Structure 1
Amino acid sequence: MTDHTKRAPRSFPRYGSFAEARRIGEILRRETVGGVLLVIAAAVAIVWANTPAADAYFAIRDFEVGYEPWHLRLSLGAWAADGLLAIFFFLVGLELKREFVAGDLRKFSTAVVPIAAAAGGVAVPALIYALIVRGEPGLSQGWAIPTATDIAFAVAVLAIIGSHLPSALRIFLLTLAVVDDLLAISIIAVFYTDRIELIPLGVAFAVIAVYGFVAQRYRAFLGSRPFAAWAILLPIGVVAWAFMHASGVHATIAGVLLGFTIPVLHRRGASGALAGERGLAEEFEHRFRPLSAGLAVPVFAFFAAGVSVGGWDGVQRAFANPVTLAIIAALVLGKPLGITLTTWVLAKIARIRLDPALRWIDIVGVGLLAGIGFTVSLLVAELSFASGSPEHDYAKVAILAASVTAAVLASILLGIRNHGYGRIRAQERIDVDGDGIPDVYQREERREEWFKAPPASRRRRE
Structure 2
Amino acid sequence: MSIPRHFANQLARSFTKLMGGEASAGILLIIVAMLALIVANTGWAYGYHELFHHELAWTPISKLDSLHLWINDALMAVFFFVVGLEIKREILDGELSNAAKRRLPVLAAAAGMVMPALIYLMTTGTKPPLAHGWAIPAATDIAFAVGVLALLGKRVPASLRLFLLTVAIVDDLGAVMIIAVFYTKIDAGTLYWGIGALLFLAGLILANRRGVHHLWVFLILGFGLWYCILNSGIHATIAGVIFAFTIPLRPLYHGDSMLLRLEHALVPWNSYVIVPLFGFANAGVALGGIGLAGLSDPIPLGVALGLFLGKQIGIFAAIVISDRIGFAPRPAGASWVQLWGTSVLCGIGFTMSLFIGALAFPRYPHLVEEAKLGVLLGSLLSSLLGYAILRMAKTPQAEQPD
Q: Secondary structure at the match of 2:322?
A: helix
Query: Quick one: which amino acid aligns to residue 384 of structure 1?
Result: A
Distance change >3 Å, CA 153–CA 19, structure 1 → 2: closer
**Structure 2: which 5+ runs fail to align?**
1-8
| 1:63 is the counterpart of 2:54 | yes
1:404 aligned residue: 380
Say which SS state the counterpart of residue 163 (structure 1) adopts.
Answer: helix
Indicate yes or no: 2:266 matched with 1:288: yes
- The normalised TM-score by structure 2 is 0.87
Aligned to 1:237: 222
CA distance in 2, matches of 1:21, 1:357: 33
1:131 equivalent in structure 2: 122
Aligned partners of 2:12 and 2:268 also within 8 Å: no
What residue number does 1:428 align with?
Answer: none
| Residue aligned with 2:248, SS | coil
Correspondence for 1:420 among 387, 395, 398: 395
Letter in 2 for 1:340: F
Could you tell me how far 1:400 is from its partner in structure 2?
0.6
| Native 8 Å contact 1:29 1:290 kept in 2 | no
User: For 1:365 and 1:118, how far apart are their aligned partners in 2?
Assistant: 15
Of 182, 185, 190, 2:176 maps to 185
Alignment of 1:158-197 (within 5 A): 158-196=149-187, 197=190
User: Do residues 299 (structure 1) and 277 (structure 2) align?
Assistant: yes
Amino acid at match of 1:207: F
2:91 aligned with 1:113: no
- Residue 20 of structure 1 deviates from its aligned partner by 8.3
Contact 1:70 1:246 in 2 (8 A): no
Alignment RMSD: 2.9
Unpaired segments of 5 or more residues in structure 1? 1-17, 223-228, 267-272, 425-462
Q: Is the 8 A contact 1:332 1:406 kept in 2?
A: yes
Size of the aligned set, in residue pairs, is 389
Structure 2 residue corresponding to 1:357, chosen from 333, 340, 363: 333
CA distance in 1, matches of 2:126, 2:203: 48
User: 1:106 deviation in Å?
Assistant: 1.4
Give, in whole Å, the separation in 2 of the partners of 1:327 and 1:201.
Answer: 33
Decide which moves more: 361-370 or 346-355: 346-355
Aligned partners of 2:108, 2:287: CA distance in 1, in Å?
Answer: 35
Deviations 1:128-178 (CA, angstroms, capped at 9, x unpaired): 110111277631111111111111111211122243423222222112112
Answering whether residue 35 of structure 2 is matched by residue 44 of structure 1, we say yes
Code of the aligned partner of 2:333: A
From the CA coordinates, give the structure whose radius of gyration is larger. 1
- CA spacing shift, 1:21–1:191, aligned 2, 3 Å: closer
Percent identical: 37
Q: How does 1:271-420 map to 2 (within 5 A)?
A: 277-310=255-288, 314-349=290-325, 351-386=327-362, 389-417=365-393, 420=395
After superposition, give the CA deviation of every residue in 1:57-95 in whole Å (9 maximum; x if it has no partner). Answer: 000110234988966233211221121112222121211
Change (3 A) 1:205 1:381: same
SS at 1:210 equivalent: helix
Report the secondary structure of 2:169's partner residue: helix
Paired residues of 1:67 and 1:73 also in contact (CA < 8 A): no
Which residue identity is paired with 2:39?
Answer: W
Partner of residue 75 from structure 1, selected from 66, 75, 79: 66
Question: What is the Cα deviation at residue 260 of structure 1?
Answer: 2.1
